[in-house]
Structure 1
Amino acid sequence: MAQAFETRDRLCKAHGWSKEQVELVPVLASGDKVLDRPLAEIGGKALWTKELDVWLGEGRIDVSVHSAKDVETIRPSQFGFGAVLPRADRRDCLVGAASIADIPQGAVVGTSAPRRASQLLNLRPDCEVVTFRGNVATRLGKLKAGEADVTFLAAAGLERLGESAVGAPLEVDEWIPAAAQGAIVLECRAADEATKAMLAAIDDHGTRVELEAERALLAELGGTCHSPIAVLCQPGGEGLTMRAALFSPDGTERIEGEAVFDALDLAPVKALAKDLLARATPGIAPHFGGAS
């Protein structure tokens, strides 16, 4: 809802509308209904989009507001990204310790994200990972109740909720974030020209370029919600730079690579994916469809 509020505010500012001219329609996603199992076990990222897809397809809503990192790589052709909002902080925050090194020996770490679990175990194999799902308040409540010693939360989500003081941000040179983390996408019907024109006024080109590159990498890798992958794409020199790391679920195996590319040419991104797949170890390869 915080993301929907931000979207409404940006639309009102861009078009000179009052808040009453933008109706917010809450939709409870399946991903928020089942919290006792990892997302990958119960349907993956589609659990964040399927209810909104139905409402959007039926014309009950004109725009769906999504966290970009929660949107499946392959989407129905009837929908399209009408706008991508300016990217917020892409870092993860560690809650319960000041840094990865400061996590107590043998600590219990709560997360349901394969990337966070495998990247942590790669750096701290002494830790134990337990499933931790729910919104920010739910996960902080579980942490306070002693269900885990530490957990991870997205810095962007904390910022949007006015909770920037919570946790310690992990710098991207040491802890690589998720693909599309920190970005909000606004999806509409592909044939709805009026809504597309309305959304174009708040589209951020720089963030869209990064998002398209990161999603292109995921598509080439055949990555899913089961795939432990970390990606960092940002402006560098006259183009963009991308750093990606693939992990085995237990964190014992890790490979990574980099690409430098121009926004209009994603060939180096696809080449990076092919290189990573070619070097994928036996513990990594089964988790990426492009490796088959």
Structure 2
Amino acid sequence: MIEKKIRIGTRDSELALWQAHTVQNKLHELGYKTEIIAVKSTGDIILDKPLYELGITGIFTKTLDIAMLKGDVDIAVHSMKDVPTTLPIGIVQAAVLERANTLDILVHKGNLDFLNSEGTIASGSLRRKAQWLHKYPTHQVEDLRGNVNTRMQKLKDNNWNGAIFAAAGLERINLKPDTFLNLDWMIPAPAQGAMVVVAMENDEFTKEALAKLNHKESEICTFIERQFLRTLEGGCTAPIGALAVKKGKQIEFQGVLFSLDGKEKYSIEKSCNFDSYLNFGQECAKEILENGGKSLMDKLRAELKVK
């Protein structure tokens, strides 16, 4: 009989709680006892400033990191794209669940005529904003912050033509409306659509439990994307997109780096064998840096004050 109760830390938004309950249900099926403990993160509380102005990487994960290090919770469940590529000392990645939809979508108000003229869309993501302006240079992009429920309400309350969301988040809590457009040309955030569970490095019982939830293909593809991000040294805010997809015995990779206004773009498309991926993300990033990306990253760091 498994006796220890695993305390699951989560943000208190509807989506975060859905993710925590998903992990809880999977652990219950394996016979583990659990308890969910919800905490509010700084990223949820401060909604009047763009994320990059707050000067914190991992703003959505920091509160849970502290709760884990203090011993208040045993594990934390995150949208993997929100997690910094370097975890705090003592905390380790314990499981990546099978990845969901990786696409970004445009939620609109039923009329897409603005795509051929001038328009205003909303997004709090520099990556989405840069890619949108690259494709639609005459458009305006307004800042949009908050959890998915808050952002959907803000879209209704404003006269914007649309707003960009991760498809997975809306699908998970049944918020995806009929009026959406798949942005299959937009490269998603590294690890978009994936959920990650972190645990304390010295907690063998919990790590062993979570290892049973790990989806190897999702773990490898997100590893490549996050290695690409870390090598570019983009933190969680710079306009960087990455997507690795397994096709047969190959992993096909797309990576992009944009200027904030979307005018400068560096991209790469490459593939590697499924069993030789360990330095693949790093190699792709270095190629971008060597072909002009380094000067853009230096400029971005100055603009965003990212250290």
Q: Do the structures match in fold with TM over 0.5?
A: yes
Decide which of 15, 36, 42 is 2:48's aligned counterpart. Answer: 36
Partner-residue secondary structure (3-state), 1:22: strand
**Counterparts in 2 of 1:234 and 1:167: CA distance versus 1, 3 Å:** farther
* Uncovered stretches (5+) of structure 1, i.e. residues with no partner: none
Decide which of 168, 178, 182 is 2:180's aligned counterpart. Answer: 168
**Counterparts in 2 of 1:269 and 1:283: CA distance versus 1, 3 Å:** closer
Q: What fraction of aligned residue pairs are identical, expressed as a percent?
A: 33
Q: How far apart are 1:277 and its partner, in Å?
A: 0.7
Q: Map 1:136-175 onto structure 2 (within 5 A).
A: 136-172=148-184, 174-175=185-186
- Aligned equivalent of 1:4: 20
Confirm whether residue 73 of structure 1 aligns to residue 89 of structure 2: no
- Once the two structures are superposed, residues 235-257 of structure 1 have per-residue CA deviations (whole angstroms, 9 ceiling, x without a partner) of 12412111011111101111211
- Aligned equivalent of 2:201: 190
- Look up the equivalent residue of 1:193 and give its one-letter code: E
Confirm whether residue 48 of structure 1 aligns to residue 64 of structure 2: no
- Look up the equivalent residue of 1:187 and give its one-letter code: V
Q: How far apart are 1:148 and its partner, in Å?
A: 2.4
- Once the two structures are superposed, residues 146-198 of structure 1 have per-residue CA deviations (whole angstroms, 9 ceiling, x without a partner) of 152211111110111012335525253x1211110000000000111010001
Task: Please give the alpha-carbon distance, in whole angstroms, between the structure 1 residues aligned to 2:181 and 2:78.
Answer: 23
Decide which of 96, 101, 104 is 1:92's aligned counterpart. Answer: 104
- Look up the equivalent residue of 1:16 and give its one-letter code: G
Q: Map 1:106-125 onto structure 2 (within 5 A).
A: 106-125=118-137
Decide which of 210, 218, 222 is 1:199's aligned counterpart. Answer: 210
Q: How far apart are 1:128 and its partner, in Å?
A: 0.7
Decide which of 31, 34, 38 is 1:26's aligned counterpart. Answer: 38
- Once the two structures are superposed, residues 17-73 of structure 1 have per-residue CA deviations (whole angstroms, 9 ceiling, x without a partner) of 5xxx32110110110001111111103442111110111011111110111000011
Decide which of 25, 31, 36 is 1:16's aligned counterpart. Answer: 31
Task: Please give the alpha-carbon distance, in whole angstroms, between the structure 2 residues aligned to 1:271 and 1:26.
Answer: 39
- Once the two structures are superposed, residues 209-265 of structure 1 have per-residue CA deviations (whole angstroms, 9 ceiling, x without a partner) of 111111111111111233111111101241211101111110111121122123443
- Aligned equivalent of 1:273: 285
Could you tell which deviates more after superposition, 73-82 or 63-72?
73-82
* Uncovered stretches (5+) of structure 2, i.e. residues with no partner: 1-16
Q: How far apart are 1:270 and its partner, in Å?
A: 1.8
| TM, length-normalised to structure 2 | 0.86
Answer whether contact 1:81 1:187 (CA < 8 A) is retained. Answer: yes
Task: Please give the alpha-carbon distance, in whole angstroms, between the structure 2 residues aligned to 1:45 and 1:99.
Answer: 36
| TM, length-normalised to structure 1 | 0.91
- Look up the equivalent residue of 2:180 and give its one-letter code: A
Task: Please give the alpha-carbon distance, in whole angstroms, between the structure 2 residues aligned to 1:99 and 1:119.
Answer: 21
The size of the alignment, in residue pairs, is 285
Task: Please give the alpha-carbon distance, in whole angstroms, between the structure 2 residues aligned to 1:135 and 1:37.
Answer: 14
